[in-house]
Structure 1
C-alpha cells in the first residue's frame, strides 16, 4: 500500500467578467470544501488558491482540488495554471530557504523556457547536491512531489482537456 504524501500546490483560475464579489467567491469556495486553501483575490479577474493536501497520488489529489474549485466558481471560470510547473531559481531558493546564488553555483538541469526550469526535473539534481541545499529539501518535498502532476494537468488544460 502506498503511503500518503502531503502535496503542496497552487491553483490559478481566471474568472468571467462580473464574477461577483469577493465575499460570495470566498463563501462558495468554503462551501465546496476548499476551506483548507489560502485564497488570493488580489489580481483582477484571477483567483489563486494554495493547498497542502494529503494522498497517495499527486495527480488525483490536484485534479480533485481543481474540480472542487471550478465547481464553486461562476460558470465560465477557467483553470489557468497549476503550480509548481515552470519555476525560477528564485522560486526554488525561496522554498529551500537558500539564496538564488547558492543554486547558481551548482549544476542545474537546463532551463526550459525563458530561464524557467521544470520543477519536476529539479528534485533529483538537488538531491545530488552537497550541503545546505540538499539538507533543505525535506521541508520542500511536498512542493516538489506535486510538480510532475502539475505539469501533466497544465498540459491537458492547454489542450482544452481539463
Structure 2
C-alpha cells in the first residue's frame, strides 16, 4: 500500500568552495523534486524538505537521497535525515497547536536537552487520541511526517554506525 512520507534530507557540501544557492536548488530539481523546499541557512549544509510516496519510509527516503546525491557537487554526502529527534515546538508546529498545549500532556522522557524520538511522541499522541476523543489536535495532518520517523531513525543509525556509506548510500562492506 502506497503511503505519503514527509521528511528532510540534510547534505554536507564539500569544504573550501562557495556554493550558489540557485545552483544547489537546481540540483534538487534536476533529481526530480520540483516541489522541494530548499534550505541553505547554515554554511556547508543543504537541506531539502520532500514529500514522497512509497511502501516504507526507509526505502523511500534512501531512494530520494540516492537520486539527489549525484546531482550535488562532488564530495557531498548525506549528513542526516529528519524527523528523528524533535522538539515539542517541532511537533506542535506539525499539529498546528501551541507548544504549551503539548507541555500540559504526558510525554515520553526526552532523549537529550528537550529532544524526543518522533516515534515515541507519535505513540503517546495516538494513545491520547484513543483514550480521550476530546483531545483537540488533528494528527492526520501530520501523519506523513510522523510516518517518516522510523525510516529516518533507521537511516541515521546506519549512517552513524558506518553500515551505510554517506557518500553513495550503498551498504558498507563488513
TM-score, normalisation: structure 1: 0.91
Give the Cα separation in 1 of the matches to 2:126 and 2:27: 40
Once the two structures are TM-superposed, the CA of residue 159 in structure 1 deviates from its matched residue by: 2.1
Q: Deviations over 1:5-46 (max 9, x none)?
A: 110000111101215422322222222222231111232111
**Residue of structure 1 in register with 2:10 after alignment:** 12
**Residue of structure 2 in register with 1:86 after alignment:** 85
- Which consecutive segments of 4 or more residues in structure 1 shift more than 6 A? none
Instruction: Judge which range, 74-83 or 140-149, deviates more.
Output: 74-83
**Residue of structure 2 in register with 1:121 after alignment:** 120
* Aligned length, in residue pairs: 159
Secondary structure of the residue aligned to 1:146 is helix
Give the Cα separation in 2 of the matches to 1:11 and 1:113: 22
**Residue of structure 2 in register with 1:44 after alignment:** 43
Structure 1 portions without partners, runs of 5+? none
**Residue of structure 1 in register with 2:168 after alignment:** none
**Residue of structure 2 in register with 1:153 after alignment:** 155
TM-score, normalisation: structure 2: 0.85
Once the two structures are TM-superposed, the CA of residue 106 in structure 1 deviates from its matched residue by: 1.1
Give the Cα separation in 2 of the matches to 1:101 and 1:20: 39
Instruction: Judge which range, 139-148 or 119-128, deviates more.
Output: 119-128
**Residue of structure 1 in register with 2:74 after alignment:** 75
